Amino acid sequence: MKNNSLGWWVVLSLSASACGVQDLSEMEAQDGSSLQRPSTITADKARPPSGEATYGVAAEDYSPPESSITSFSTPDENGNYLGSVALKITATDVGSGVQEITYYLVGASTGSGTVTGSTVYVPLIENAGLTTVIYYARDKAGNVEEAKSFDVNIVFDQPGVSCLPVNLDDYNLFVLGNYTGGHDVQGKVAAGGNVSMQSFAVGAGLPATNTNHVLVVGGNLNVSNGTIYGDTYYGGSLTTNQSATVRRGTLNQGTPFNFTSLSSDLQTLSSQLSNDLAVNATPRIEPWGGLFLKGNDPKLNVFSLNASIFSTTRYMELEAPADSRIVVNIYGPSASFSNFSQHNFRGGIDQTGILYNFVDATQITASGFGFWGTVLAPLADITFNNGSWDGGIYANSLTGNAEGHINPLKDFEFCEGQNNY
């Protein structure tokens, strides 16, 4: 992912009042030209006693930030990885805050990037051999930490066999295109296109300390009458009213993600889940509309379904051992879900262990329905009203007032031709 430098900066007009809020009342271009002032979005500040403003002097920040790297894959006893490796770099700074993280890949895989914010997802490392990741962070005061390194050595014990991590737990909603008509998403939201939400909330279900990249918009952001609970980014224009607020975070012009690259990764993951996982469980389909998915494998249970089955489904039940995973590979250009629930679990499995992989669907519609599990549909435009999802949605676009609830998919890893993690 490459960073996008901030093309605009925000001038704040501060006023002390009983409500103690900070108004974003004017935007100016970096070249000094004026923009037409949009409606107002506000960011909470602590309210001073008796409605009077108080001022303090911030201490100078001379301390650099501190960064660390996390691997989503587990090496063998020799420290080698048997397949592709996904990495995340995070940084903290107790002073002015983290401005950006820079990384370089040297060796078998190459690349580099500088990303605004305190979290970076390194592009998937897939090439056999040794790749060294060099990384460091810079804070908003200009302090730069000493560069660190992390070695990734990938070996393939069996010719043509590689392993792929499945990590779909960061976002409650992630779409490459637009998110339109949104109402309430308890977790984080990222959209490569435009976002339009009214009478809304984003991130209200997150811990108060989890404020990084809560709403990321690659295009235009249009919000009114609601609250974003964490750092907010937008790449295009901003349109708001005075009833839209940002709490526990800041409003930023810029896009910290490369949405095109991430979308390609999701499409690759969807294809590999379809092509490389062996089906080891058989669905039971009843003529009255019952759909029963029962798997006995203690680790990974894989089903294959035609998308058309859901148009006649009236009851759905999933059964598998606790701490196992269910992957449902679904084939067909479109799918429809209406007026039934799949919140029926047996055997110990729950929504954090279920992944619905829509391999080739380009249209999905749902109404009066609840998805319990994570939906991977990288090619699909989803229309979803009067319902909810309990997990994550990763798609091309989403339109509708369905609500998103946090219960992310538990990470796992699979190897080609092997149902394990």
Query: 3-class SS at 52?
Result: coil
Name the pTM for this structure.
Answer: 0.68
| Token pair recorded at residue 18 | 């009983």
Q: What is the DSSP letter of 81?
A: B
pLDDT of residue 412: 87
The DSSP bridge partners found for residue 399 are: 180, 383
For residues 200-208, give the mean pLDDT.
97
pLDDT of 20 reads: 37
- What is the SS3 assignment for 112? strand
Kindly state the helix (H) or strand (E) to which residue 228 belongs, with its residue range: strand 221-229
Q: What is the pLDDT of residues 87-140, one digit of tens each?
A: 999 999 998 999 999 999 999 899 999 999 999 989 889 888 999 999 999 999
pLDDT value for 32:
40
pLDDT of residue 12: 28
Angle at 197 between CA 196 and CA 199, to 5 degrees: 160
Quick one: average pLDDT of 297-306? 94
Widest CA span of the chain, in angstroms?
72
- Alpha-carbon distance 15 to 353, whole Å? 49
Structural contact between residues 97 and 114, judged by C-beta atoms closer than 8 angstroms: no
Token pair for 113 = 């990037």
From edge to edge, which strands make up the β-sheet containing 345-346?
284-285, 290-294, 315-319, 345-346
Phi/psi at 162 (5° precision): -140, 160
Q: Is residue 304 helix, strand or coil?
A: strand
The backbone torsions φ and ψ at residue 49, rounded to the nearest 5 degrees and listed phi first, read: -60, 140
Residue 261 pLDDT exceeds 50: yes
Nearest to 173 by CA among 377, 325, 352: 377
Averaged pLDDT, 242-271: 92
155 pLDDT band, cuts 50/70/90, is confident
Residue 32 and residue 294: Cα distance in Å, rounded? 63
Q: What is the pLDDT of residue 420?
A: 53
pLDDT > 70 in the chain, percent: 82
Residues 2 and 229 sit within 8 Å (Cβ to Cβ):
no
Q: Is the pLDDT of residue 41 over 70?
A: no
Q: How far is CA 134 from CA 3, 122, 387, in A?
A: 17, 11, 45
Residue 125 to residue 89: CA distance in whole angstroms: 14
What's the confidence (pLDDT) of residue 4?
37
What is the reported pLDDT for 139? 95
Task: Categorize the per-residue pLDDT at 160 as very low, low, confident or very high, splitting at 50, 70 and 90.
Answer: low
| Domain boundaries defined on the chain | 66-155, 165-411
**Is the CATH code 1.10.3370.10 the one for domain 66-155?**
no
Q: Are 112 and 103 in contact (CB under 8 A)?
A: yes
- 157 φ, ψ to 5°? -65, -35
- The Cβ-side half-sphere exposure at 80, using a 13 Å CA radius, reads 12
- What element of type H or E holds 407? none
CA-to-CA distance for 135 and 12, rounded, in angstroms?
Answer: 33
Identity of the amino acid at 305: L
Residue-level pLDDT at 334: 97
Q: Which residue has the tokens 């029962």?
A: 294
**Residue at 203: amino acid letter:** G
Element (H, E) at 188: none
What is the per-residue pLDDT for 306?
A: 96
Residue that has been written with the tokens 């308890």 in this structure: 186
Nearest to 402 by CA among 416, 391, 413: 391
Mean pLDDT, all residues of the chain: 84
Whether residue 86 has pLDDT greater than 90:
no
Cα-flanking dihedrals φ and ψ of residue 226, to 5°?
Answer: -175, -175
Q: How far apart are CA 285 and CA 200, in angstroms?
A: 38
pLDDT band at 75 (very low <50, low <70, confident <90, very high): confident
pLDDT of residue 240: 94
Residue carrying structure tokens 């984003």: 202
Name the residue with higher pLDDT: 40 or 335: 335
Instruction: Find residue 92's DSSP bridge partners.
Output: 66
